[in-house]
Amino acid sequence: MSDHAPALDTFTGLDSRKLAIWTFIGSECMFFATLISNYLVNKGRSLVGPFAHEAWTDPVTGKVMEPIIEIPLVTVGTALLLFSSLFVVLALYGAQKGNRRMLLGWLGATLLCGIFFVGMQVYEFTHFVHKGLTLQRNMFGASFFVLTGFHGTHVTIGVIWLATMFYLALRRKLPPERSLNLEMAALYWHFVDVVWIVIFPVVYLIR
């Protein structure tokens, strides 16, 4: 039995795997704090458009263009990402109680929300590039794509992680005694949700 007991950190009393994910999340919080600070500093320093919230003049056509940010679609993606945090909690509860149907149902819902969010970001990036906003275009473009791109990458990693848990659950390889594997994935998912709660108003709402 002792061979299968979880390894506990002697100082915190936490499972070493849970301690590792918390340590990773802490370091990533500092990373995103740096990216958000960089965005706030640079978003107003662009000399040419497109701009986030201000109209701008196309230097080629001379036409006055609308601000590039489009809030409605991103708001839907944000709402789904927030709901997905609740869904993954319900999936984890199902895993801990051995309720496979509940686990698969709510974990599947979480995955669908995550996939929609990633798809929304891909569409948004494509739309912005079509409108002339690129990494090299101006300071806003550079800081926007770096910040939201890194977050989108983290969401994609979370989707892959949760999809792996879904596959294990389908194969009946995620019994209650192994629910910590899903709990760690859920912690990571909550982290990317919380980061987006900060990014959304900073990028899309604050002028």
| Tens-digit pLDDT profile for residues 89-135 | 999 999 999 999 999 999 999 999 999 999 999 999 998 888 888 88
pLDDT in tens, 20-62: 999 999 999 999 999 999 999 888 766 566 666 666 666 555 6
Does residue 11 carry a pLDDT above 50? yes
Please check whether residue 77 is in contact with residue 155, taking contact to mean a CB–CB distance below 8 angstroms: no
| Pick from 85, 112, 86, 91: nearest CA to 182 | 91
The dihedrals phi and psi of 199, each to the nearest 5 degrees, come to -65, -40
Residues 6+ apart with CB under 8 A from 144: 39, 43, 52, 128, 133, 203
Alpha carbon 21 to chain centroid, angstroms: 16
Does residue 8 carry a pLDDT above 60? no
Does residue 4 carry a pLDDT above 60? no
Question: Considering the entire predicted model, what is its pTM?
Answer: 0.88
Please check whether residue 110 is in contact with residue 88, taking contact to mean a CB–CB distance below 8 angstroms: yes
Whole-number pLDDT of residue 158: 98
Whole-number pLDDT of residue 173: 94
When pLDDT is cut at 50, 70 and 90, the band that residue 69 belongs to is confident
Spatial distance between the Cα atoms of 153 and 173, rounded to a whole number of angstroms: 27
Does residue 6 carry a pLDDT above 70? no
The overall average pLDDT reported for the chain is: 88
**Domains of the chain by range and CATH?**
19-43+71-205 (1.20.120.80)
